[in-house]
Structure 1
Amino acid sequence: MKTPLTELVGVRHPVVQTGMGWVAGPRLVSATANAGALGILASATMTVEQLRAAVREVKSRTPAPFGVNLRADAGDARDRVRIIIDEGVRVASFALAPSKELIAELKDAGVVVIPSVGARRHAEKVAAWGADAVLVQGGEGGGHTGEVATTVLLPQVVDAVGIPVVAAGGFYDGRGLVAALAYGAAGVAMGTRFLLTSDSPVPDAVKARYLAASVKDVTVTTRVDGLPHRMLRTELVAGLERSGRLASLARAVRHAAAFRKVSGLGWARLARDGLAMKHGKDLTWSQVLLAANTPMMLRSAMVDGRPELGVMASGQVAGVIDDLPSCAELVARLMREAAEVMDGLRGRYGPGSGPPGD
């Protein structure tokens, strides 16, 4: 299936595996790439040295194109961009809008730039700055999310920009891919669906928690880091909802100290990144401090296998997923389903069939 996305980045299928912290490492990204989709390496939880090693590991596992997700507001963003350029990575994706200068630097080096956006105005801004495509996530998506559903947000963005649009939030099968294409998207991006594969490094016990969840077991809370965050509803999340402001800030201080050790960053560097985050997202200092909760609470579940001590970011689709295919099986199934849906539509509503009801 050829779309503007496949032609832009050189993959066989218009499917993207999103850059999930602690999850989207070399193993998952290379499996996705070998399946013909676009794997995105999550770098926010890696040091610069770890990122370079991870990029080289992916390259050793697959000859296919892949991408790296960056935090545009990170103090070492340019160092990470230099790794992407030096190592010949095909795609740079961003959780926050990169600057016009950063986009130009990447494009001059032949790197495809795909920022993630959650609003029409953000898509218009990065398109005007030269972004090659945008990934638009509706409220159904996991992690940090907005309030507008994908079915409302996606056509807004498609109508507003003249570059390929990748749809995220609520996708997990071939029917969703066809629906996104009908809205004008060039492909779909999925996080939770790729997290729940046999190639995902998430511990089996944690995957089992996801598979057991219903749609109603996925909730949105602001009590982890001060911003809306979609995740599985657990006893820990319920406790966070009940906890007071001082307890939340004290927990964030502990997690900031822990993340400093894991990331190798000094307090001065964390402060600079916090200041950049504050201005980039217009946050209060309390929210900036709370942001330290996110990487460590995700790590407890996604790496250590301790969901009782951490949180599990999740799209609403977790409630309708019930298996753990490999990435190759997942992508092949998704494309087969999409072909069957399109064939069915042509047979039902093709030339000479007349409008529904005739």
Structure 2
Amino acid sequence: MDTAFTRLVGVRHPIVQTGMGWVAGPRLVSATADAGALGVLASATMTVDQLRDAVREVGSRTDAPFGVNLRADAGDAGDRVRIIIDEGVRVASFALAPSRELIAELKDAGVVVIPSVGACRHAEKVAAWGADAVIVQGGEGGGHTGEVATTVLLPQVVDAVGIPVVAAGGFHDGRGLVAALAFGAAGIAMGTRFLLTSDSTVPDAVKARYLAATVKDVTVTTAVDGLPHRMLRTDFVDSLEKSGRTRALAQAVRRAAGFRKMSGLSWPAMIRDGLAMKHGKDLSWSQVLLAANTPMLLKSAMVDGRTDLGVMASGQVAGVIDDLPSCTELVDRIMTEAEETLKSLELLRAAR
């Protein structure tokens, strides 16, 4: 399927596997790339050296284009950008809007820049700064998310910018791809659907929790880091929401100490990272610490399999997913469903 997005990044299918921390590692990214979609490596949970090794591992596994997701506000963002350029990575994506200077540096080196946004004004800003495309996530999407549904946000952004728009939030099959194209998007991006594949390294017990979830089991909470965060509802999430400030601070300090030991960050550096994630919000100190070490909470579930001690970011589509195909099987199925849906629409038009 040929769209403005497939032409821009050089993939066969207009599908993106998003850069999920602790999930989107070399195995999943290379499997996605080999399936003809765009795999995106998550770098926020890696050190600079780990990122370089991961990029090289993906390159050793596949010749297909892939991307790297960065935190634009990270103190070492410049070093990570240099790795992307030096290693010949095709796409740089961002969870937060990168600066005009960062976009220019990447574009000058021939890297395609695709920020993720959750509001029309943010899409307009990065488009004016030279971004090549945008991923637009509606409120159905997992992780940090907004309040506006994809079906409302997507056409708004498509009408506002003149660059390819990739739709995220609520997509998992070929019918959704066709719907996104009908809204004017050039492709779809999926996180939870790729997490729930046989190529994902997430522990089987954690995948089972996702597969057992209904739509009502996916909630939005601000208890983790003070920002709206869509995830599976668990006893741990309930405990965070019920904790008083003193207890929440004690929990945050304990987990922050663990993350500091693992990451090598100093306490001042962790506090700076937490404060950088406030985005103007009035966060308590426990929320600032939790914001700084949210990666540790995700690692507990996504790597260690501790669903009792970690959080499981999730889109609402978890409630309608019931299998674990390989990335190739998933992408092929989506494209087949999309073609069948398009043929059905053609028959409707012909019958008029």
Shared topology, TM-score over 0.5? yes
Check whether the contact 1:23–1:195 (CA below 8 A) recurs between aligned residues: yes
1:160-202 C-alpha deviation (Å, 9 max, x unpaired):
0000000000000000000000000000000000000000000
**C-alpha distance in 1 between matches for 2:239 and 2:152:** 33
Equivalent positions of 1:273-292 (< 5 A) are 273-278=273-278, 281-284=279-282, 286=284, 287-292=287-292
Equivalent positions of 1:104-123 (< 5 A) are 104-123=104-123
Partner of 2:259: 259
Check whether the contact 1:248–1:290 (CA below 8 A) recurs between aligned residues: no
Which range moved further: 287-296 or 26-35? Answer: 287-296
Equivalent positions of 1:30-69 (< 5 A) are 30-69=30-69
Instruction: Report the TM-score, using the length of structure 1 for normalisation.
Output: 0.96
Check whether the contact 2:26–2:55 (CA below 8 A) recurs between aligned residues: yes
Check whether the contact 2:270–2:289 (CA below 8 A) recurs between aligned residues: no
**C-alpha distance in 2 between matches for 1:18 and 1:182:** 22
Shift of 1:293: 4.2
**Aligned AA for 2:280?**
D
Is the counterpart of residue 185 in structure 1 residue 185 in structure 2? yes
**C-alpha distance in 1 between matches for 2:56 and 2:49:** 11
**Aligned AA for 1:248?**
A
Is the counterpart of residue 92 in structure 1 residue 105 in structure 2? no
**C-alpha distance in 2 between matches for 1:179 and 1:164:** 16
Check whether the contact 2:23–2:201 (CA below 8 A) recurs between aligned residues: yes
Q: CA RMSD in A?
A: 1.1
Equivalent positions of 1:289-328 (< 5 A) are 289-328=289-328
**Aligned AA for 1:198?**
S
**C-alpha distance in 2 between matches for 1:115 and 1:159:** 17
**C-alpha distance in 2 between matches for 1:74 and 1:51:** 14
**C-alpha distance in 2 between matches for 1:210 and 1:168:** 19
Shift of 1:285: 5.3
Shift of 1:251: 1.7
Partner of 1:72: 72
1:255-275 C-alpha deviation (Å, 9 max, x unpaired):
222112222222343244344
**C-alpha distance in 1 between matches for 2:191 and 2:58:** 18
Instruction: Report the TM-score, using the length of structure 2 for normalisation.
Output: 0.97
Check whether the contact 1:251–1:293 (CA below 8 A) recurs between aligned residues: no
Shift of 1:114: 0.4
Equivalent positions of 1:112-261 (< 5 A) are 112-261=112-261
**C-alpha distance in 2 between matches for 1:225 and 1:274:** 9
**C-alpha distance in 2 between matches for 1:74 and 1:92:** 14
**Which secondary structure does the structure 2 equivalent of 1:41 belong to?**
strand
**C-alpha distance in 1 between matches for 2:272 and 2:247:** 24
**C-alpha distance in 2 between matches for 1:26 and 1:244:** 40
Which range moved further: 200-209 or 234-243? Answer: 234-243
**Which secondary structure does the structure 2 equivalent of 1:153 belong to?**
helix
**Which secondary structure does the structure 2 equivalent of 1:288 belong to?**
helix
**C-alpha distance in 2 between matches for 1:83 and 1:16:** 21
**Aligned AA for 2:168?**
A
**C-alpha distance in 2 between matches for 1:140 and 1:107:** 31
**Aligned AA for 1:337?**
E
**Which secondary structure does the structure 1 equivalent of 2:13 belong to?**
coil
**Aligned AA for 2:244?**
G
Shift of 1:288: 2.6
**Aligned AA for 2:281?**
L
Which range moved further: 13-22 or 281-290? Answer: 281-290
**C-alpha distance in 1 between matches for 2:300 and 2:276:** 26
**Which secondary structure does the structure 2 equivalent of 1:107 belong to?**
helix
Check whether the contact 2:226–2:283 (CA below 8 A) recurs between aligned residues: no
1:297-323 C-alpha deviation (Å, 9 max, x unpaired):
111110001101111111000000000
**C-alpha distance in 2 between matches for 1:247 and 1:136:** 36
**Which secondary structure does the structure 1 equivalent of 2:135 belong to?**
strand
Identify unmatched segments of 5+ residues in structure 2. Answer: none
Task: Count residues in correspondence.
Answer: 350
**C-alpha distance in 2 between matches for 1:222 and 1:268:** 23
Which range moved further: 6-15 or 238-247? Answer: 238-247
**C-alpha distance in 2 between matches for 1:301 and 1:101:** 36
Check whether the contact 2:195–2:202 (CA below 8 A) recurs between aligned residues: yes
Percent identity, aligned pairs only, is: 82
Check whether the contact 1:75–1:272 (CA below 8 A) recurs between aligned residues: no
Partner of 2:26: 26
**C-alpha distance in 1 between matches for 2:234 and 2:174:** 30
Check whether the contact 1:75–1:269 (CA below 8 A) recurs between aligned residues: no
1:38-79 C-alpha deviation (Å, 9 max, x unpaired):
000000000000000000000000000000000000000000
